[in-house]
A = this chain, B = another copy of it.
């Protein structure tokens, strides 16, 4: 709508279906004049929806397991081939915890699963940046964004080992942001987004109650996927060149709230009838 990304080339991870944050970013980036390559794991492509998106955005899909340096090397090569040169932006929206999926509580983690959580949700971001830098794949003043969540700072029950992965992800953004900034003028940031009803989000047990709470805590309400995409576009644009190594809260104000009148009004209903959790086995 504004041509904010006119002439820019990018790479977008994590568009599973039209509820995905990455899907919305792709649509908006396309509207703003960007060209980009889409990627996701081979497994997540089996439903084929990403190809619809690719068609719509007039682009290609390159499958890659984000934990495989080899796959990432191939992805970057293919992307640079596609464009005949370097790119300007990357969105990393990749996360998964087998401990969460398999119902392991945080005091009963499977350490192989934890290793995978970290590899998929945090280390993959380092691998991507390292491969991109080695291949000199990003233009000066390029922009890299990864998706985070407030659990990196504050503990939310059930978020489990993903909290630790997000804390590490944000640290990687700072650590690599320093290196990539000083040498190539490339910025690296994370967006800490409201809980969102993506396919991933809707699989989280108890997400309804949490989203009601965060909605009522946040003066502007939860941020949705369309709004995420809009904000993401500004971070890819030339208007935010000096923002780097930051974790930016895009959450309707939630991260700065201690208690709102709306949430307290709901909570107070329960005061006459205090109840305890049935168990901690979750």
Contact = CB atoms under 8 A, between A and B. Distances in A.
Interface string A147-179: 000111111111111011011101110111111
A69 B49 CA distance: 42
Given A107-B130, A133-B107, A261 B234 contact: no
Q: How many copies does the complex hold?
A: 4
A182 B280 contact: yes
Interface of A: 2-4, 69, 105-109, 111, 114-115, 118, 122-123, 126-127, 129-130, 133-134, 150-161, 163-164, 166-168, 170-172, 174-183, 185, 187, 194, 206, 208-210, 212-213, 218-223, 227, 230-231, 233-234, 237-246, 248-253, 255-271, 273-277, 280, 282
Q: Is the interface of A mostly helix, strand, loop or mixed?
A: helix
Contact of A266 (B3, B171, B275): B275
A73 to B, nearest CB: 13
B241 A230 contact: yes
